[in-house]
Structure 1
Amino acid sequence: MITCRTKPLLATIPSFVLSLFLSGPALAGGYFEVEPGVDLYYEDHGSGLPIVLVPGWTFTTDVFEHQIEAFAGTHRVISFDPRSQGRSTVTLEGNNYVTQGADLAKLLDHLKVEKPVLVGWSFGCLATWEFVKTRSVEAAAAHMCIDLSPTPMTGRDGDWTEGSIADISGLFDGVQTARGHREAIHWYADEVMIEQDYTPELARWIEDQSTQSPPWVAAAYLAAGNFSNYLVTAKEIDAKIPSAFVVADHWSDTARKYLAKQTPNSEVHAFGGHMMFWEYPNRFNRVLAGFIARIE
């Protein structure tokens, strides 16, 4: 019965439409086993100069929806869910940015990507800096960091940092439980990440991404990120390849002074909140397009 009903149905579909279903374009999403038992979800769109987008703490490729849409027609755009985030495997080991940078290197080797434009958001910058640290500055065509200091909590007094030890320890304590994690990301998104009204629909979209990582993963990444120090690597990037920082308005004065001293050759753009690339995509995409034009 199934065979008899299916054949006439297929016969009614125009051949050019049927060919799209049967052959179609290459799948944009896939999984790569970065080590035994640990699969990374990734997306690979378009062709041309590769742009690699790395999401921040506990987030997923979904945050880059506007960049993927804008650039995939002219460039090869790659993003991924880091281990224990989003659709990637939750694992007990490697929930730190040294491992995340190594995972990124393995994924790009698997995809045969050479000299990409690296774009990290927030703690995703730690993974891109780690990639450069271990592979060399010459392994990248350019580097953009969205709203993170190379010294998140390890800078000196007056430096651009994530906050005081008391601030960070309070956040760390808060994410130890599932409820605490959701409440923490709700507060942070409303107060720091997003300037528009934090509607229930927007809250669910953001919080559902973050809370796909268990609380112990969130806490491990939070600690690893804040204790990181990639100033030497950021300085080397600044000296050798095109470099840019896009920072949120709320700490732009501090960030600009710090970057003028530490990475004087880097572009610095300031607007919006911590997630300005999503909230103001047209403005951000113009900045990214202008930055990429420097190397094309």
Structure 2
Amino acid sequence: MPYMEVARGVKLYYEDWGAGPVVIFVHGWTMSHKFWSYQTLNLPPGMRTIAYDLRGHGMSDKPFSSYSYQEYAYDLLHLILGLNLRNVTLVGWSMGAPICLEYLRLFGPERIAGFVSVGGAIPKYVKSPDWPYGLPPNTIQTWFDDLHRRRPEWQEELFNRIFVNPIVGSATKRWIWTIGMQASFPAAVGSLIALRNTDFRAFIPYIRIPFALFQGAKDDITLPEATQWIHAHNPRSKLIMFEESGHTPCIEEIDKFNAELTKFVFSLTT
């Protein structure tokens, strides 16, 4: 099994398929590379797909560390350098999207051709007087309380909530829950702290590469209004709505998602 050492004593598990334009999939909170199975299996063979597990998640090492977006971004940098990748398209779902944003903020567009946010490039997650497109602070606090007191039950409730398309059945929801419970408790807590504290609003206008915003129209985890705000504040962005999806268009509308992703990736090579 392939592993990449990204820091002393920290190895990330990854899967590397195909040849062609490189796409790196960055999963969300408590997920793993398995979340992207419907993409790595179904995308055209003329594309190289790399899906990896964030530290603390899946089959990667689970150190006791900060689990900040900065730490995740440095891990991603070491993965890209270690595999000597260039002209990469980053695809981040949910928390994976702000990890990609942090990467771009810290290291710029070198080696990166484009970026796709999947229900996740929200500039600021918590609602405030100057930001109406987030979740209320008491909602986030309840998430912390439930994570500390009844993690299995709460994650089941959360993962049931992210799907709205009736095509997604109970077996898929159970599969996602099983993946989610593999993440370490420090990773789950640290990532949630990063989600609560980060504000990318000032950075959004300075993204200098083409990027696409894949947004579920019925998403109540990452509000469509937040994604529309990004689109209005950076002319390089392309907004693609998934009308039958909640937070997971890559599972709820697989065919449309894969077609739009393929179109975007190959548009970067022309």
TM (normalized to structure 2)?
Answer: 0.90
> Rg: which structure is higher?
1
Q: Percentage identity across aligned positions?
A: 25
Q: What does residue 195 of structure 1 align with?
A: 165
For 1:70, what is the secondary structure of its paired residue? coil
Distance in 2 (alpha carbons) for counterparts of 1:99 and 1:281:
31
Point out which structure has higher relative CO (alpha carbons under 8 A, 6+ apart).
2
- Determine if the alignment matches structure 1 residue 294 to structure 2 residue 267: yes
Residues 83 and 286 from structure 1, CA distance in 2 versus in 1: closer, same or farther, beyond 3 angstroms?
Answer: same
Superposed, 1:1-296 pairs within 5 Å as 29-71=1-43, 73-148=45-120, 149-153=122-126, 157-161=130-134, 163-177=135-149, 180-196=150-166, 199-237=169-207, 240-251=208-219, 254-255=225-226, 257-271=228-242, 272-296=245-269
Distance in 2 (alpha carbons) for counterparts of 1:139 and 1:150:
23
Distance in 2 (alpha carbons) for counterparts of 1:67 and 1:256:
22
Displacement of 1:288: 0.8
Distance in 2 (alpha carbons) for counterparts of 1:58 and 1:165:
21
Query: In the alignment, is the contact (CA less than 8 A) between 2:162 and 2:247 conserved in 1?
Result: yes
Distance in 2 (alpha carbons) for counterparts of 1:77 and 1:204:
25
Query: In the alignment, is the contact (CA less than 8 A) between 1:38 and 1:91 conserved in 2?
Result: yes
For 1:219, what is the secondary structure of its paired residue? helix
Higher helix fraction (1 or 2):
1
Distance in 1 (alpha carbons) for counterparts of 2:127 and 2:55:
25
TM (normalized to structure 1)?
Answer: 0.82
Query: In the alignment, is the contact (CA less than 8 A) between 1:47 and 1:72 conserved in 2?
Result: no
Distance in 2 (alpha carbons) for counterparts of 1:45 and 1:170:
40
Distance in 1 (alpha carbons) for counterparts of 2:192 and 2:155:
12
Query: In the alignment, is the contact (CA less than 8 A) between 1:46 and 1:72 conserved in 2?
Result: no
Distance in 2 (alpha carbons) for counterparts of 1:134 and 1:140:
13
RMSD: 2.0
* Unmatched runs of 5 consecutive residues or more in structure 1: 1-28
